Structure 1
Amino acid sequence: MTHLIQVLFRSSLLLSAFVLAGCNYATVPDPALTAKDAEFLAVVAKADIDPNFQRYRVDDPTGEEPGTIVVDTKNRFLYLVEPGRKAIRYGVAVGSEAFGWTGAATVGRMAEWPRWVPPAEMVERWPHLAPTLTAGGVDGGPDNPLGARALYLYQGDKDTLYRIHGTNEPQKIGQSVSSGCIRMTDIDVIDLYNRVKVGAKVLVN
């Protein structure tokens, strides 16, 4: 029975890939990794990502200026708009209905393997995180929920406390599960990080 389920799952992945191939999609190669990236990613949990949520270059559906990041929370996609009416589309996990955030922001700061300090509001909801806050957060690494990279979203000079970041739970890509932040697989957030700069416009719809 288990073997049959595995066969059916692989068949569904192949069918999805075939459907995508018939559209105007092109795969995007993985980015180059630093030595630290390779070391940490080697121990991060692996997951089979639905082909629909993998990284593709597509026709731009947003109409925004090149360099703009657009997050489609309903369909769980993040688009990085490119010249020539193209965009790179990434699968993401988004905030649950209770904690989802939408709006316009800019990338105010960027960090590699960032330290994670849970916001006070999160600790109020989940008191078990209090020791993490008391300890000053969690060092960057494979056990850190921010993953390989973080883009910090600002409105003017104010940190919104929302991030676009990696994840050590890649199996949740395509779901509505986070506390409002936009999660990407680590390899995808590295790719995005390499393509954007501080000041980039971000629209979360």
Structure 2
Amino acid sequence: MIHIEDADTPRLSRRALITGAAASLAVAGCTNTERRLLPAEPAGPVLSPKDPYYLSMYGPMPEEKFPVPAVNLRRVDPIYYRQVVDYATSERPGTLVVDTPNRFLYLVQENGKALRYGVGIGRAGFSWGGRARIAYKRAWPRWTPPADMIQRQPELEKYRNGMEPGLQNPLGARALYIFQGGKDTIYRVHGTLEEWTIGKAVSSGCVRLLNQDVIDLASRVPNNSPIVVIQGGAA
């Protein structure tokens, strides 16, 4: 959705576990994309924007329909770099869990592990939470603002019938569409070029990831995967 800058939210524990039900936000991603080979994952706990592993992970993606530039990792808190973490949960592997208070999205894996991504979340008053599913994914999707958003922001009228895909499109490189009870929630998990927004509450309801991360996530998540969005008091 349209990105509106908001006050930075406090940074919380990188190991915070999420428990509860109800949440704020939405979708990412599309067609399966072959994941690129990366250097061996660093063994130590120190994350650095100079580490070759992360420079490769967040490097340019010229093979995309709209070539994706490298992320300026100095503008992203290293806690939000993509990484495998210990994760205790009763959710089955393959489930997406959005931890709204701590600004993380977890893809649950086997053996008490999860692949964790940093996210930006919806601003207070534009939040959604609960259990749903990823009905489908799109690569380089069109973006159509909801009617109530156009009413609040008349300058979006020109996009009533949709905005063409591209780097400046608010949905970024991939969008995952969240449905609940057979109905579109209007919330998405999607990509962004605005790396400084990761870890903050800045968007009108949706969950945003770095384009490199949402491309990776979309390649791992099949249609109809379950998603749980956990909403907390820190917004």
For the aligned pair, the TM-score class normalised by the smaller chain equals: 0.7 to 0.9
Structure 1 counterpart of 2:127: 100
Pick the aligned partner of 1:68 from 95, 120, 130: 95
More helix by share: 1
- Name the aligned partner's letter for residue 100 of structure 1: S
After superposing the two structures, state which structure 1 stretch, 96-105 or 189-198, moved more. Answer: 96-105
Displacement of 1:139 after TM fit?
1.2
1:27-176 aligned at under 5 Å gives the runs: 30=57, 35-37=63-65, 39-42=66-69, 46=72, 48-133=75-160, 136-176=161-201
In structure 1, list runs of 5 or more residues that go unmatched: 1-17
Note the alpha carbon deviations across 1:28-56, whole angstroms, 9 max, x for none. Answer: 8739957225x4213x8746211001101
In structure 2, distance between residues paired with 1:61 and 1:130: 45
In structure 2, distance between residues paired with 1:204 and 1:30: 26
**Backbone CA RMSD of aligned residues:** 2.5
Question: Structure 1 residues 22, 144: closer, same or farther in 2, change over 3 A?
Answer: closer
- Name the aligned partner's letter for residue 83 of structure 1: E
In structure 2, list runs of 5 or more residues that go unmatched: 1-41, 48-52, 231-235
Structure 2 counterpart of 1:21: 45
2:61 touches 2:68 (CA, 8 Å); kept in 1?
no
In structure 2, distance between residues paired with 1:83 and 1:129: 43
2:71 touches 2:195 (CA, 8 Å); kept in 1?
yes
How many residues are matched?
A: 180
Which secondary structure does the structure 2 equivalent of 1:21 belong to? coil
Displacement of 1:128 after TM fit?
1.2
Which secondary structure does the structure 1 equivalent of 2:67 belong to? helix
Which secondary structure does the structure 2 equivalent of 1:137 belong to? coil
1:45 touches 1:169 (CA, 8 Å); kept in 2?
no
1:40 touches 1:141 (CA, 8 Å); kept in 2?
no
In structure 1, distance between residues paired with 2:167 and 2:194: 10
In structure 1, distance between residues paired with 2:96 and 2:170: 22
After superposing the two structures, state which structure 1 stretch, 54-63 or 84-93, moved more. Answer: 54-63
1:101 touches 1:180 (CA, 8 Å); kept in 2?
yes
Structure 2 counterpart of 1:7: none
Structure 2 counterpart of 1:178: 203
- Name the aligned partner's letter for residue 125 of structure 1: R
Question: Structure 1 residues 33, 156: closer, same or farther in 2, change over 3 A?
Answer: farther
Q: Over alpha carbons, which structure has the higher Rg?
A: 1
- Name the aligned partner's letter for residue 36 of structure 1: E
1:76 touches 1:94 (CA, 8 Å); kept in 2?
yes
Which secondary structure does the structure 2 equivalent of 1:35 belong to? coil
Determine which structure has greater relative contact order: mean sequence separation of CA pairs < 8 Å that are 6+ residues apart, divided by chain length. 2
In structure 2, distance between residues paired with 1:34 and 1:201: 31
- Name the aligned partner's letter for residue 156 of structure 1: G
In structure 1, distance between residues paired with 2:182 and 2:120: 26
Displacement of 1:168 after TM fit?
2.6
2:89 touches 2:112 (CA, 8 Å); kept in 1?
no
